[in-house]
Structure 1
Amino acid sequence: MIESNSILFTIICVFGLQSIMFGGLILFKKPRRLANIFLALLIFFYAIIPLNIVFVNVLKDYDLLYIFRYFQMEMLYGIGPCLYFYTKCITNSKFKFQRKHFIHFIPLVLEFIFYRTTIYRIGSNGLYLEEMPIYSYVYLIQQWLGVISILIYSFISLKILLKYKYLLKEYYSKIEHLSHKWLKLPILFFAGYFIYWNILTGIDWFVFDRSLREYYFLPSFVILSIITCWLSFKAYIQKEREVVHLKPIKNKFEDNQDNRDEEFLTSLKTLMKTQKPYLNPELNLSMLAEFLDMKPKELSQKINQNCNQNFYDLINSYRIEAFKNRLESPEHEKLSLLGHAYECGFNSKSTFNHVFKKFNQLTPSQYLKRLKNTSE
């Protein structure tokens, strides 16, 4: 065990209980969505981990530790499946939770049962003995398997998000409101946290004979409770976003440069030069297809085949060229760089900076400085 610290315990409880409160608000948020159920559960599972530490130490202080196994709240095996199904819900409008999906939560049920057994009680208490009993190693294996479960589900969820973002670029020129970018940081943080925690405790147990425990134990759970509260607040204030059903667009001519459609390229360039649809920040594949009197899927294939770009990069390349042309005009100082970017169809500073640097290997301010030096 560790020395009780009322200040750190209070911080953990405040942020942990706030996280649970936000989770409840998300659960009952309207419109009711399946995604919100999994998100609320995910927040709950994260929040009870640090609260669980406070509870066990309070029981220790009142000499009631022997009853802890009946109230153990840690649920490592629920985190991964909830993250996975939440990601599925927000990236696939047709996803439905079916009876077969309950198999993902069988380890969670087994974990709950395990915490009520004598094996757990002896194993967890044995961690603090000079010579650990065999049940302690069973407990450590169970913990590491829980971490591995979280890492596997986190990897799969991150992969789904990245694939979804890639597909969005085939259909949209503005993806910030659809890509769920905010979720990537929590996935990486929590996956990294559990790796950090188990490696750190392992080193402490086997190398330093648990002498460092007082320095990292409670501060680590304070950090976890604060980040969990941040995640729950961030999730709660997120606007309800459209869940777009996207199908991968197969490009049969991707590697065949001999199939370039010059007629299509001429039509596309003429449209971009005369009507400049890229200046519309809301431009998407369907809207551009209407301009060219084509079906969206056919247009996407044509763009990939003839331009070696997806729709997102194509439209933003025209916006970047329009921006550069504005900088070369005599009246470019009437607006800021961001003002010019907005006039060219961008509506996000971060997206503009990222795209500009991708195409020019310079930031907008660096490009303007070089342009001025060249003209002098």
Structure 2
Amino acid sequence: MIILPAFTFPNFNLYSTPLLVLVLQALLFSVLLIVKYSKNKNVSYLILSIILLLVSYQQICYTVGFMGWYDTYRTTKINYWLMPVSLVVAPMIYFYVRSITQSNFKFKKSDIKHFLMMLSLILFRVCIYIYDAFQPGFHETQNGVLKVAIDEKIIQPILVFLDFAVMLLYLAFTFQLFYNYRKKINQFFSNTYKLELNWVLSFLIVFSILFLYGSIQTVIDVAFISLSYTQQWWLNLLMAVSMLYIGVRGFFTDTGKLNTVKFDFNVEEKEVNLPNEKKKVSEQEIQLIDEYMKVEKPYLNAELNLSDLASNLHMHRSQLSQIINQGFDKNFNDFINEFRVNAFKEELKKGSHKELSLLGIALDCGFNSKATFNRVFRKLTQTSPTEFIKQLSLE
């Protein structure tokens, strides 16, 4: 009579259950993002889905550990396939932001270089697995000869430093890409609330927090005290919660909005070589634009951008941008919104707020949303619209 061992897997406990629930939900949103990509072909949804799948894969490996897999199946070969997914996630974070900020983004063959380290590691693991599988006693142990002698002793310590360096570099590059884009977009669009990429910033902050937490934990584990499996659980919980947040926000955020605007940051215009770039802005040019803004009131158009205004003034957009930056000491966004705020103030002085809502007046003055209006009004006046009304009543 054969007596089967008493399996303890799956063990649903305080460590495994929260991770399991969160990871399954993150996987669900990964599938939903793929469905969304199949409908509108926005590649950013596909990239975000892959990011969720990769991190969830890593989380599943830890989750089954807390569920008792490794204690029950002591000869499991899962260690061969535990990969530092940051080697892939880091470049995918970069490509995700690029796919949002670059119109008609597509992967190129040359982009494969960003994933060579992970591909090399996978090939290495496959090779040592094949070799170890042919060695005597392989099926009676968890790790084979090469896994212990080469991977565990040599490759794994190297991967710790590579994992840190790769994530740090790609986060730095991606933050630079984001801030340069946001700075430049203020030079071209007057209403930037929908274009400010608040979701992308939140996305990058989440991964930065995970990176910082993971780095601190690694330093403590390597340099000070070896952390137990349960002590490392908190990082896994934070990752699981973060992936669920990213899945939800990423799914419900329209990342294709920037592709609809009439602007391409990759247009081949040698603006720096235009004569006006080195020419000092004249008072006549400043007065011309100022009078046009006051008489024609183009700022009432919520979709006004630098190209449209330059076309109306029969100027090159680089020339107009230079006049606004140097002559008015403002970027395009602040320049246009100052006229809108002043128009809003004039309406309040006329008593329009007694008949219309503040939001209605703001929309009539060229703002495209309540959030944009409130933010811009406070930025330019250091007060809120309601406080400004109270000041008017005291005059």
Same fold (TM over 0.5): yes
Contact 2:210 2:238 in 1 (8 A): no
Cα deviation, residue 335, structure 1: 4.0
Alignment of 1:101-140 (within 5 A): 101-113=111-123, 135=152, 139-140=156-157
Match of 1:323 in 2: 344
Alpha-carbon shift at residue 53 of structure 1 (Å): 0.5
Residue 196 of structure 1 deviates from its aligned partner by: 0.8
Please state whether the residue corresponding to 1:93 is helix, strand or coil: coil
Verify the 8 A CA contact 1:279 1:345 in the aligned structure 2.
yes
Counterpart CA distance in 2 for 1:114 and 1:187 is: 31
In the aligned structure 2, how far is the partner of 1:361 from the partner of 1:121? 64
How far apart are the structure 2 equivalents of 1:261 and 1:205? 63
Aligned residues of 2:77 and 2:143 also touching (Cα < 8 A): no
Higher mean displacement: 185-194 or 362-371: 362-371
Moved more, 28-37 or 273-282: 28-37
Q: Does 1:22 align with 2:39?
A: no
Residue pair 2:300, 2:366 contacting (<8 A) in 1 also: yes
Partner of residue 85, structure 1: 95
Please say if 1:75 is aligned against 2:72: no
Query: Which SS does the other structure have where 1:6 is aligned?
Result: coil
User: Is 1:350 equivalent to 2:390 in the alignment?
Assistant: no
Deviates more, 1:109-118 or 1:322-331: 109-118
Whole-angstrom distance in 2 between the partners of 1:278 and 1:200: 52
Q: Deviations over 1:287-308 (max 9, x none)?
A: 3234323343432233223222
Q: Deviations over 1:201-257 (max 9, x none)?
A: 53256545537x63x53343223212212212222222232334125854876797x
Contact 1:115/1:121, CA 8 A, preserved across alignment: no
The answer to whether 1:98 aligns with 2:98 is: no
Specify the code of the residue in structure 2 equivalent to 1:105.
F
Which one has the largest radius of gyration? 2
Which of 244, 259, 264 is the matching residue for 1:245? 264
Distance verdict in 2 for CA 1:137–1:327, change over 3 Å: farther
Contact 2:32 2:251 in 1 (8 A): yes
Of the candidates 182, 186, 198, which is equivalent to residue 215 of structure 2?
198
Secondary structure in 1 matching 2:258: coil
Which of 238, 249, 268 pairs up with 1:234? Answer: 249
Amino acid at match of 1:98: K
Gap regions ≥5 residues in structure 1: 127-132
Deviation at 1:79, TM superposition (A): 0.7
Paired position in structure 2 for 1:143: 160
Alignment correspondent of 1:45: 54
Paired residue for 1:210? 227
Aligned to 2:330: 309
Please, which runs of 5 or more residues in structure 2 have no aligned partner?
Answer: 1-10, 133-141
Could you say what the CA RMSD is over the residues aligned between the two structures, in angstroms? Answer: 3.4
Identity of aligned residues (%): 27
Could you tell me how far 1:140 is from its partner in structure 2?
4.3
CA drift of 1:86 comes to 2.1
Q: 1:287 aligns with which of 290, 308, 315?
A: 308
CA contact (8 A) 1:161 1:179 kept: no
Distance of 2:215 and 2:307 partners within structure 1: 49
The DSSP-based 3-state class of the residue aligned with 1:340 is helix
Structure 1 residue identity aligned to 2:163: G
1:88 and 1:362, CA in 2 relative to 1: closer, same or farther beyond 3 A? same
C-alpha deviation, 1:82, in angstroms: 0.9
Given residue 258 of structure 2, which amino acid in structure 1 is its aligned partner? E
Match for residue 130 of structure 1?
A: none
Distance 1:137 1:210, change over 3 A: farther
- Bigger mean CA deviation after superposition, 112-121 or 71-80: 112-121
User: 1:168 Cα shift?
Assistant: 1.6
Classify 1:68/1:310 alpha carbon distance in 2 versus 1 (closer, same or farther; 3 Å): same
Quick one: which of 157, 169, 172 aligns to 2:186?
169
Letter aligned with residue 324 of structure 1: K
Residue 285 of structure 1, CA deviation: 1.9
| Aligned position for 1:60 | 70
Q: CA deviation at 1:141?
A: 4.2
Q: TM-score, normalised by structure 1?
A: 0.81
Secondary structure of 2:182's aligned partner: helix
* 1:181 to 2:198 alignment: yes
The amino acid across from 1:53 in the alignment is Y
**Is this contact kept in 2: 1:173–1:316, CA < 8 A?**
yes
